[in-house]
Chains A and B, each alone.
Chain A
Amino acid sequence: MATYIINLAILIGINAILAVTLNFILGYAGIFSLAHAIFFGIGAYTAAVAAMKFGADFAAATAAGMLVSGVISLALALPALRVRGEYFVAASLGLQMLALTVFSEWKSVTGGIGGLIGIPPPRLFGFDVSDPVLFLALTLACLGVILIAIRALVRSSFGRSLKAIRDDETAASALGKNVALLKTLAVMVSSSFAAVAGSLFAFFLSFINVESFVLEVSVQVIAMVIIGGTGTLLGPVIGAAIVLLLPALLTYLPYLPPTEIGSIQQMIYGLAMVLLMIFRPSGLWGYGSSQDRKRAAP
């Protein structure tokens, strides 16, 4: 039982990192990306290959993942500079689908749908951290560092400029802000941090394949951010916990026919998304109404 809860907590922690990093561009910079799972995947594949081929430890593998992810994120930054709103959503969707094809076809690196098996247990500075409790501690430490980093970024002049762009791009550019550079940096920061989640995920499962980085995962991360509350620091963490706990709790519902249980879970999950958006669109952790938001954010 304890192992199960710890494993669930690790998954929540990994997804919380994804949600928090997506929120950084979605909530603070107004960049709506449907391709977040791709950077999760790039982090996971890079870390796995680094560990399997070069015997890298967790820190080195994660750093490699962040680097590769940050560079490839330029492919997402490029359309972000050209277009906004629905067009960017579609561009990120295109990137998601293209990258997924590459993930499944570049078999010498990614193993295709067969995936990479036998990722070695994680080591950190010479210590084995594969014990579930230690790994949970590692996950939470990563989450903590990323939360602190994002909090610092949001409160810096960089973060204020991003919010200015989100609220009115034309005005921000008139004020002499380098919109293109700021957006590119925001996307790079978000994507590199998302790669940390990928590295944790690869070491945690010791198996990864393309199915963990599909469009549905990107949408699920968005759901976490929206359900928790965009533009808040802790909202996405809460959202990640809820989105992962809900199906886990639903399996405890009694009297469901076993063959229908999967469908019923998915239906309740979908229904919860709908109801929440109708009755609490600012997210559970967000401010109650737009009035509050204005008062709280001068």
Chain B
Amino acid sequence: MVFLQLFLNGLQLGAIYALTAVGFSLIFGSTKIFHVAHGSAFAISGYIYWWLASQLDVAWPVATLAAVLAAAAFGLLMERFIYRPIQRHEASFFTVFIAAFGVSLVIQNLIGSVAGRGMETVTTPLSRSVEIMDGLFVAPISAISIGVAILVFTALSYFLGRTHVGIAMRALSENPDLVRVFGLDPGRVAQWAFVIGSAVVVPGAIFTAMTAGLNPAIGTHVMLVSLAATIVGGIGSVRGAACGGMLLGLAENLAYWKLDPQWSEAVTFVVLFAFIIFRPSGFFGTPTAAR
């Protein structure tokens, strides 16, 4: 029974990880930008939702929409005012990395100054577990987050596979000419990648605000997990990132079954390290991607 409970907890956490990792993977896959400020989009949208829904009593659809807009705007501004100017020079990987890290530092402290430095939660009955079987507790939010994750992936797969912008987004890094064949501007497509990649973190951010709670430094952890999930799933594969996120969420929770709790987080990075050594292309990556 404990195993089943831990498995369910893992599924819920995995759904949240998958939602954040997919955004990171989408942005990296199409623009080759290692967007370590991705966690900031998570923090911003989470706090916007908290502020509207919990402080101002705005209805949840409105608050959600506002959070989506905020995350998308953040992604767009990052592309336009940080990454594009840097890439005008012959930017090295680490130039982008340091700039993005600088942005996350600014955002983290800005949130601390404006919203306070303690933990903030959105109180909702949805996060309260009920005993569905003897000793098995499930909160409505578990089902909701798994459902929303499936919904988002279905929509995203359709978008990437069937629409011109989506196909162009996937082709952008390998074959910019194909983008032009569709009559699209590569710069514009990159912006779309940032907008969509940032917007998909919103459900994860809202669910986190309802369950674990928000704090200004939350973005760092989100970024680490997204990065690990992206590698485990295989760089450039949105499907892989989703599976990677799910795997990490499950691993972190199932670790409680046999190990002492203090090792659970290390399990994430054991999985990551093992994948890099033994299967660097990840679940779905093409072997050539991992030279």
Chains A and B touch (C-beta atoms under 8 A apart): yes
| Residue positions of A touching B, CB distance < 8 A | 26, 32, 78-79, 82-87, 89-91, 93-95, 97-98, 101, 105, 215, 219, 222-223, 226-227, 230, 260, 263-264, 266-267, 269-274, 277-278, 281-282, 289-290
Give the interface SS of chain B, mostly helix, strand, loop or mixed. Answer: helix
Q: Of B94, B110, B113, B227, which contacts A222 at CB under 8 A? A: B94
Sample 16 A-B pairs with CB under 8 A, ordered by A number.
A26-B94, A82-B277, A83-B280, A85-B291, A86-B235, A91-B272, A94-B228, A97-B224, A101-B265, A269-B105, A270-B103, A273-B102, A277-B102, A278-B82, A281-B95, A290-B90
Contacts of B95 in A (CB 8 A): 226, 277, 281
* A79→B276 contact, CB < 8 A: yes
Having A101-B262, A227-B98, A274-B103, one finds 4 other A-B pairs with CB under 8 Å, namely: A26-B94, A101-B269, A222-B97, A274-B99
> B263: CB under 8 A from chain A?
yes
Q: Of B97, B113, B273, which contacts A263 at CB under 8 A? A: B113
CA distance A63 to B178 in the complex (A): 57
Question: Min CB distance, A18 to chain B, in Å?
Answer: 16
> B125: CB under 8 A from chain A?
no
The 8 closest A-B pairs by CB, nearest first: A273-B102, A270-B105, A277-B99, A94-B273, A270-B106, A101-B266, A274-B102, A97-B269
Q: Of A85, A260, A273, which contacts B98 at CB under 8 A? A: A273
CA distance A85 to B92 in the complex (A): 11
* B99→A86 contact, CB < 8 A: no
Contacts of B235 in A (CB 8 A): 86-87
Q: Mark B84-109, 1 if CB is under 8 A from A, else 0.
A: 01100111111111110111111011
Contacts of A227 in B (CB 8 A): 98
CA distance A26 to B270 in the complex (A): 24
Q: Of B28, B230, B231, B277, which contacts A78 at CB under 8 A? A: B277
* A82→B276 contact, CB < 8 A: yes
* A32→B94 contact, CB < 8 A: yes
> B112: CB under 8 A from chain A?
yes
* B112→A263 contact, CB < 8 A: yes
* B109→A266 contact, CB < 8 A: yes
* A270→B231 contact, CB < 8 A: no
* B109→A263 contact, CB < 8 A: yes
* B280→A87 contact, CB < 8 A: yes
Q: Of B90, B91, B93, B105, which contacts A267 at CB under 8 A? A: B105
* A273→B263 contact, CB < 8 A: no
CA distance A161 to B51 in the complex (A): 56
Most chain A CB within a 10 A radius of its CB, from B97, B102, B108, B268: B102
